[in-house]
């Protein structure tokens, strides 16, 4: 199967600008990823000259990993499901509290194909910052395939970061 080329040149340009803003303000970022599987961290660490703005990345694909690595409560996962607003927020806040970062982003969703009761393309995002309220966003990309869902998720994270940093 041929994969779409990502990140796109536009995503790479945007990520570089985001990291430069973080460098300029002496802030660090952490990522907490599930459905994107480290794609956001990979893009951010691929940018030369701004590596000191990336603190760390967590890839927590399973519920158990979300609990152990990010401190997401078992009760929350059981009641809300891994793909939910509450879990996306808990993931971002967990990444923030378990790192030396000033800002953390998270993704959790169904990249597809999804189970019978799951909505393929549904992704929840969160952005947590020290001293500020955590921001949540949800997108329904539809059944466009894993690669495009992951790319669109990356673009959504970049949107959130740009909005926060400007």
Condensed to tens digits (0 to 9), the pLDDT of residues 54-75 reads: 999 999 999 999 999 999 999 9
Q: Percentage of the chain surpassing pLDDT 90?
A: 84
CATH of the domain at 44: 3.90.950.20
> Which helix H or strand E contains 137, and what residues bound it?
strand 135-140
Please answer whether residues 88 and 14 qualify as being in contact, where contact means their C-beta atoms are separated by less than 8 angstroms. no
Does residue 89 form part of some domain?
yes
**6 pLDDT above the threshold of 70:** no
**5 pLDDT above the threshold of 80:** no
Please answer whether residues 161 and 18 qualify as being in contact, where contact means their C-beta atoms are separated by less than 8 angstroms. yes
CA distances in angstroms from 134 to 37, 84, 105, 106, 128, listed in the order given: 22, 14, 10, 11, 4
- Sign of the alpha-carbon torsion through 159, 161, 163, 165: negative
> What pairs with residue 103 in β-bridges?
29, 129
- Computed over every residue of the chain, the mean pLDDT equals 93
> Which helix H or strand E contains 139, and what residues bound it?
strand 135-140
Largest CA distance in the chain: 46
Does residue 98 form part of some domain?
yes
Q: For residues 123-131, give the mean pLDDT.
A: 97
Q: What was the pLDDT predicted at 9? A: 86
**3 pLDDT above the threshold of 60:** no
Does residue 1 form part of some domain?
no
How many structural domains is the chain composed of?
1
Q: What was the pLDDT predicted at 2? A: 44
Does residue 2 form part of some domain?
no
Does residue 4 form part of some domain?
no
**Residue pLDDT, tens place only, 67-117:** 999 999 999 999 999 999 999 999 999 999 999 999 999 999 998 877 778
Does residue 3 form part of some domain?
no
Q: For residues 118-134, give the mean pLDDT.
A: 96
Q: For residues 130-140, give the mean pLDDT.
A: 96
Does residue 116 form part of some domain?
yes
Burial of 52 (0-12, 13-18, 19+ CB in 10 A): exposed
Q: What global pTM score does this model have? A: 0.94
Q: What was the pLDDT predicted at 97? A: 97
Domain with 72, as residue range(s), is 9-165
Q: What was the pLDDT predicted at 1? A: 39
Does residue 101 form part of some domain?
yes
User: Can you read off the two tokens belonging to residue 146?
Assistant: 């894993």
């Amino acid at each position: 199967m041929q994969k779409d080329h990502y990140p796109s040149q536009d995503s790479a340009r945007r990520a570089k600008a985001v990291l430069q803003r973080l460098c300029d303000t002496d802030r660090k970022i952490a990522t907490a990823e599930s459905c994107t599987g480290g794609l956001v961290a990979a893009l951010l660490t691929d940018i030369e000259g701004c590596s000191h703005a990336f603190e760390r990345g967590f890839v927590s694909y399973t519920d158990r990993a979300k609990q152990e690595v990010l401190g997401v409560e078992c009760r929350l996962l059981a009641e809300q499901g891994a793909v939910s607003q509450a879990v996306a927020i808990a993931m971002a806040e967990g990444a923030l509290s378990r790192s030396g970062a000033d800002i953390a982003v998270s993704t959790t969703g169904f990249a597809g194909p999804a189970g019978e009761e799951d909505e393929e393309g549904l992704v929840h995002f969160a952005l947590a910052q020290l001293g500020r309220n955590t921001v949540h966003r949800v997108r329904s990309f539809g059944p466009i395939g894993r690669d495009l869902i992951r790319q669109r998720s990356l673009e959504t994270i970049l949107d959130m970061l740009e909005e926060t940093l400007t």
